Every structure is written in C-alpha cells, then in structure tokens.
Amino acid sequence: MASEQTVAVFGAYGHTGRFVVAELRERGFLPLLVGRDAEKLRALAEAHPGLDARPASVDDPAALDRALAGAAAVINCAGPFATTGAPLIEAALRAGIPYVDVAAELEANLDTFAHFADRARAAGAVIVPAMAFYGGLGDLLATAAMGDWTAADEVHVAYGLNSWHPTEGTIAAGRISRERRNGQRVRFANGRLEYRDDALPTLEWPFPEPLGTRAVLGEFTMADVVTIPSHLSVPEVCTYMTVEAATDLSAPDASAPTAVDERGRSAQTFLVDVVVRSGGLERRAVARGQDIYAVTAPLAVEAVRRILAGQTKAVGVVSAGELFDATDFLRELSAHISLELRQ
C-alpha cells in the first residue's frame, strides 16, 4: 500500500485522468485533483468526497506551485503536452518531486529529453515522458524482449487494435503533432529520425492469435521511436497500426470511447507485438489487454509507485525501459496486461 502518499494528477477530469485517479485510489495513494478548468475539477471532487481540487493554469507558475504543494509526485494527463509538459516539469523541479506524463506526442517527448535531461540529471530528479500505452508500454516490451542483448539491428512494434475511438485530447494532440512537422510523417531509421512526404506503406503483419495476420499501416509512427532509442542500442524502430484502428482514428466523425464495464473501460481490445532482431536471431514480447486509455493508468501509477519506493535504475529524463526492471514491471500489471515473452 502507498500509505496515503499524495500524488497530483494534472488534467484529473479528462478521460485518462479519471482512470489515473481511480487507479491511485485503488493502490492506496491520495490523488490531488489539478487542472485548468475549475468547474470540471469541482464536479470531479464532488464525485470523490475527501479529495482536494486545485485549479491551476500552465501559464501561471505560482498557481502550479500552490497546486503541487504537499504532493510526492505529479502525473500529467493533460494534453496537448506541447503546451502542458514544460510548465509542469518546471513546477515539479521547483517542488523537488518526480514527474510522469502520458504523452503520445513524439515531438513533446523529444522536447522533454532535449530541454530537461541535463537539469534533471544534475538535480537527481526523475522525469518520465510517455509513461502510457504509446511510448512506455512499447519500450518496456522491447526492453524485456532484448533481455541480455546489448544491441540489436531493429525493433518492430505492431499495434493490433480492433478499433480506436479517440478522445478529444488524442485528436488535439495529433493535430498539433502534424502542424509541428508540417504534415510530414516521421520514422526512426539509420539511427535517427527521418521526415518524409510519401504515403504510409500498407503491408501485412503476422500477429499472434487471436488476431492472426492483419493489414497494417507501416511506419505509423508513435512515441516508441523516442523512448526505445533513448537507451537501447538499435538503429531502426518501426511501428505499425492495424488498418481498422487507423481508419477509426482518421474518420471525420470519429466518436469518443464508450464505457462497457463497471471500471469505465471501452470494448476496445489490443495486442501489442514487439519483435527484436539481431543478425539471424529474433526475440518477441506480446502484450494483450482491453482499452488503451484505461491501461495507461496502471502503467503510470506503477511507475510512480516504483519511483517513490526507490525501485529505479537511473535519474534524469528517462524512459520506462531504462528506469525500471522491464519484465518485473510488466508482470506486476498482470491484472491489466497479459505478457508473453519468446526468447
């Protein structure tokens, strides 16, 4: 149990933020509700009697400092992270507390590594970007699959989503990411990010059962191209997305997730298939579960728990695979994610 340690949740009233608040309470933490919209915070606090709600804008450092007062850590669930990330990290550094976010925006993740790595390391602080379904989970799976390999030729992360009903935050983040790279797509190859104007290739990926072989968009780039190469010696990281999910995401009338169970999860299922290749050898890690937004909560909360318990391997701006024992971390989440390692 967390003995009522207080963890601030910025964007607590958002779709993912609500899952994080619920997970914190279930794990014995005391969530501190923080966000930009005072009315939404008040409504959330009424649904969770006894929790403190503190409105704060990211353009008001003093308000952020007041909002984080007394917190042991902060989880940023409020996108677009291009706007919220840096101010929250600055506030966490001033408060001397760990910062974790759930950003799938690869540009925001790049900014975090570029702008805060030296300062965080010098301060002995822990800053974890992309501690979510995209970025964190793929990194943990790739690290677990690597095992005792010190380098590999390539990592492939294939996302087998049966559907993808995006939140407003996902749509807004995607729009900002496209604007920041002028509509180009991006991939990680030859040891660096490459920006391209050609169309995404469509190919087939042999997912394990129950999915089987499915049509996917190749080089459907996610935050994994930032988190994985940040600490694993691999010159190519390629991510793929099932065509059905990509079509849902890009639909002009895309609808938000709809709850189908008592935990508020949608009917969406996922299978993440990570393949690491070195020479003629191949290793694989597979994760299965339900609802990419809901599963982000146990990922982020377990990260905070381990940081506060001192179960970490580094300081500074670090991705999940570098900071934690990847296999142990994934197995700890067996209630949410089924794990299969093939080495």
Pairing, β 338-342 against β 281-290: antiparallel
Q: Each residue's pLDDT tens digit in the chain (343 positions)?
A: 455 799 999 999 999 999 999 999 999 999 999 999 999 999 999 999 999 999 999 999 999 999 999 999 999 999 999 999 999 999 999 999 999 999 999 999 999 999 999 999 999 999 999 999 999 999 999 999 999 999 999 999 999 999 999 999 999 988 999 899 998 999 999 999 999 999 999 999 999 988 999 999 999 999 999 999 999 999 999 999 999 999 999 999 999 999 999 999 999 999 999 999 999 999 999 999 999 999 999 999 999 999 999 999 999 999 999 999 999 999 999 999 999 998 8
Q: At what angle do helices 168-180 and 81-95 cross, to 10 degrees?
A: 100
Q: Answer yes or no: pTM beyond 0.85.
A: yes
**Are 281 and 145 contacting, i.e. CB atoms less than 8 angstroms apart?**
no
Chain segment 153-174, per-residue pLDDT in tens: 999 999 999 999 999 999 998 8
Pairing, β 73-76 against β 99-101: parallel
Long-range contacts of 18-24 (CB under 8 A, 24+ apart): 18/44, 18/264, 19/264, 19/293, 19/294, 19/296, 19/297, 20/75, 20/77, 20/102, 20/296, 20/297, 20/300, 20/301, 21/48, 21/51, 22/263, 22/264, 22/297, 23/297, 23/298, 23/300, 23/301, 24/301
Q: 159: part of which helix (H) or strand (E)?
A: strand 154-161
Give alpha helix (H) positions in 219-265: 224-227, 243-250
Residue type, 333: L
Q: Report CA dihedral (310, 14, 88, 326) to the nearest 10 degrees.
A: 30
Sorted by where each starts, the structural domains of the chain and their CATH numbers stand as 6-131+296-327 (3.40.50.720), 133-291+335-342 (3.30.360)
41: helix, strand or coil: helix
